[in-house]
Amino acid sequence: MVNNSFHILLASIFSVLVAGTFQAHANENQLSAEEQAQGWELLFNGSDLSHWRNFKQKDLNEKWVVVDGTMKLSGKGGGDIMTRKSYRNFDLRLEWNISEGGNSGIFILVDEAGDKIYSRAPEIQILDNERHLDRMIDSHRSGSLYDMVPSHPSSHRPAGQWNQVRIKFVDGFLEVWQNEVKTVNITLGDSAWETLLDASKFGGGVMGLFSDFEGFGEGREGHIGLQDHSDPVSFRNLKILPLD
């Protein structure tokens, strides 16, 4: 009798866990009724990549794939990608999961005037802060405005875990949160921005080694981009609310 009761209890617990896991996955890459009413747009629905194309290309490289409801860069050579649609003012939410020792990034205000996706577009860094060498530079850690504004170390979760990012941009004012910790709060083009820009590679700083970033951060409308830094990286729950 005791054994039967124990087995029934185990079966019940297992059923609850399975149901909870299924429900969690069922809610991924979807908009709630409230979000739909507010005007949110899905950038990835869990089954296709129709909202994306490669930088300066019409189509998407086959190395960008859908795996178990995630958007994944599966190998080297996938190239940097961008949304087909451009945005001016917006609230962007997504989750990322980087491979061990990996590096990637999220670009905003992407245009195709420069040679590279990062020529003019600010980047929110994605990084394995425990293993990648860029961890030695504060403004190169995940959640940072790359090479300009460092994130707080407490905002990062290790490689293999999902990290949540929110990026809000309104009339030049940029705010970023990583795992609900605010990491960036700056206005593009103001004096604080210009000081940081001048000291960065994008402003020709770092001993003047970089000089190919004319117009960096000057745009006020553009595409959302994801970086191929030759490391596997996955994304899910990508959604955006236009604020115009």
For residue 99, which amino acid is it? S
pLDDT at position 7: 56
- 2, burial (CB in 10 Å: exposed 0-12, middle 13-18, buried 19+): exposed
Q: Lowest-confidence range among 24-33, 116-125, 173-182, 200-209?
A: 200-209
Average pLDDT, the chain: 90
pTM of the predicted protein model: 0.88
- Per-residue confidence band for 17, with pLDDT thresholds at 50, 70 and 90: very low
State residue 78 phi and psi, 5-degree precision: -70, -30
pLDDT at position 133: 77
Q: What is the pLDDT of residues 213-240, one digit of tens each?
A: 899 999 999 999 999 999 999 999 999 9
State residue 199 phi and psi, 5-degree precision: -85, -5
pLDDT at position 19: 44
Task: Give the closest residue to 98 by CA, choosing from 142, 154, 44, 68.
Answer: 142
Mean pLDDT, to the nearest integer, of 8-18? 49
Q: What is the fold, at CATH topology level, of the domain defined by 32-242?
A: Jelly Rolls (2.60.120)
Q: What is the pLDDT of residues 88-136, one digit of tens each?
A: 999 999 999 999 999 999 999 999 999 999 999 999 999 999 888 778 7
Write out the H or E segment, with its range, that includes residue 7. Answer: helix 2-26
Q: What is the pLDDT of residues 53-69, one digit of tens each?
A: 999 999 999 999 999 99
Domain ranges of the chain: 1-30, 32-242
Mean pLDDT, to the nearest integer, of 65-74? 98
